[in-house]
């Protein structure tokens, strides 16, 4: 599968583009690649690409997720139908008419989401379930179990909603799944097409409603599912598990299970993308002389070399000791921030050695003891 292009690049707009700019850019490109206006065989793919980009960037919630996680954040959270749900293309394509037909041809049967007739069993609801991980679990990935309460096919009627298993065409909508609804507005009587309330868009109703599920075809059940969390997940991500949501009414396909990931704060490491940051306590002698020092990482202790003359705030990089990259190869880095350790007290011998050091470094003789010791302590405290 070819790698998806950046949505902003697809629409040729800046990352801070407002709604008006997005709509103008999309209209220009959509009309250019519209299947009814452009005979080029690749026009359909380009039309699909720009339409998907506009559907994401014109929705504040989807755009925020894309800006934070890129395509991975969208692919794990939304199905293709979810991506286009709520997007308003009517103003842009009003002059063409048959908006549902356009998208049905290009996206393969999605016309129902854009005004086309809807018939047949509905898909079940997606279930969003929280999952809390430690940073170590997020780094290594894991298999765990979650307990869900969801609607599943009724055992008594095998999911048909009918005690006899028989159904008939809905008398309200004539089997279309949709009915015209008229409402009064300040501008006069308005008509819109909505889901048939009698059959809930399915086009059929049960001849003899099942008593166990009251004709819905589903009953609530508790399930424990084993799930796999990939390494590298981040706080706020959503992991989609296809087909593990609620089942649709009367034999409808199941929705998806969406795991909302939360990462517990770590006592030592701070995560920034794929990189980790941590404080590194360094004694004055080690900071001055340099040398090896043992530091903890997510995979155990590692030895790093402190350069001579290290100052407080110096950043040391440990390559490849950060977080694994989600759905990719390699890892981020670990950055250690040197924090000089301040001695609580100086023994007479330590004070004597510091005075000798001050003399060796050319500290002026008058008030040498007071000034040099204070300067050393101040150096520890100033970082």
Pairing of strands 334-340, 275-282: parallel
Judgement on whether residues 194 and 213 belong to the same structural domain of the protein: yes
Judgement on whether residues 50 and 96 belong to the same structural domain of the protein: yes
Judgement on whether residues 201 and 249 belong to the same structural domain of the protein: yes
Q: pLDDT tens digit string along 181-193?
A: 766 655 556 666 7
**Widest pairwise Cα distance in the chain:** 106
Judgement on whether residues 173 and 301 belong to the same structural domain of the protein: no
- The pLDDT-based confidence of 374 (bands split at 50, 70, 90) is low
Q: pLDDT tens digit string along 19-66?
A: 889 999 998 998 888 777 777 778 888 888 998 999 899 988 888 888
**Do the domain assignments include residue 159?**
yes
Judgement on whether residues 225 and 134 belong to the same structural domain of the protein: yes
Judgement on whether residues 218 and 159 belong to the same structural domain of the protein: yes
Answer with the one of 114, 135, 167 that is the final residue of a domain: 114
Judgement on whether residues 140 and 242 belong to the same structural domain of the protein: yes
Answer with the one of 66, 86, 114 that is the final residue of a domain: 114
- The pLDDT-based confidence of 379 (bands split at 50, 70, 90) is low
Mean pLDDT of the chain: 81
Q: Over the Cα atoms of the chain, what is R_g?
A: 32
Start-end of H helices in the chain: 7-11, 19-33, 43-57, 60-69, 71-75, 80-84, 90-93, 99-107, 135-140, 284-289, 348-360, 368-381
Q: pLDDT tens digit string along 135-166?
A: 999 999 999 999 999 999 999 888 888 888 77
Dist. CA 235–CA 260, nearest whole Å: 9
DSSP-derived letter for residue 178 is E
Judgement on whether residues 44 and 171 belong to the same structural domain of the protein: no
Domain extent, residue 190, equals 127-263
Residues in the chain, how many?
A: 383
Q: Are 372 and 354 in contact (CB under 8 A)?
A: yes
Strand, helix or coil for residue 260: strand
Judgement on whether residues 141 and 13 belong to the same structural domain of the protein: no
Q: pLDDT tens digit string along 259-284?
A: 999 999 999 999 999 999 999 999 88
């Amino acid at each position: 599968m070819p790698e998806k292009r950046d949505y902003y690049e697809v629409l040729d707009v800046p990352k801070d583009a407002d709604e008006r700019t997005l709509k103008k850019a999309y209209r220009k490109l959509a009309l250019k690649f519209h299947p009814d206006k452009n005979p080029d065989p690749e026009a359909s793919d380009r039309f699909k690409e720009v339409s998907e980009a506009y559907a994401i960037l014109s929705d504040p919630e989807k755009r925020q997720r894309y800006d934070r996680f890129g395509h991975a954040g969208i692919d794990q959270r939304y199905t293709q139908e979810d991506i286009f749900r709520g997007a308003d293309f009517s103003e842009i394509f009003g002059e063409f008419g048959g908006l549902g037909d356009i998208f049905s041809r290009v996206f393969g049967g999605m016309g129902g989401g854009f005004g086309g007739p809807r018939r047949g069993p509905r898909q079940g609801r997606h279930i969003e379930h929280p999952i809390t991980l430690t940073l170590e679990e997020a780094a290594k990935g894991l298999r765990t179990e979650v307990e869900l309460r969801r609607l599943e096919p009724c055992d008594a009627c095998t999911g048909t909603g009918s005690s006899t298993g028989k159904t008939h065409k809905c008398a309200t909508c004539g089997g279309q799944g949709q009915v015209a609804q008229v409402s009064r507005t300040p501008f006069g009587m308005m008509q819109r097409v909505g889901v048939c309330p009698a059959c809930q868009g399915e086009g059929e109703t049960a001849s003899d409603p099942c008593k166990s599920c009251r004709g819905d075809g589903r009953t609530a059940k508790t399930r424990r599912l084993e799930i796999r969390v990939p390494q590298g997940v981040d706080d706020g991500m959503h992991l989609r598990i296809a087909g593990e949501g609620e089942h649709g009414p009367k034999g409808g396909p199941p929705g998806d299970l969406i795991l909302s990931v939360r990462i517990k704060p770590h006592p030592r490491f701070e995560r920034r993308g794929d990189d980790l940051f941590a404080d590194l306590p360094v004694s004055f002698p080690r900071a001055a002389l340099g040398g090896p020092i043992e530091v903890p990482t997510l995979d155990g202790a590692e030895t790093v070399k402190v350069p001579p003359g290290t100052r407080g705030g110096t950043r040391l990089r440990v390559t490849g000791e950060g977080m694994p990259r989600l759905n990719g190869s390699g890892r981020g880095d670990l950055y250690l921030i040197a924090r000089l350790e301040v001695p609580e007290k100086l023994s007479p011998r330590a004070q004597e050695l510091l005075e000798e050091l001050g003399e060796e470094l050319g500290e002026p003789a008058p008030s040498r003891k007071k000034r040099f010791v204070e300067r050393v302590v101040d150096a520890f405290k100033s970082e």
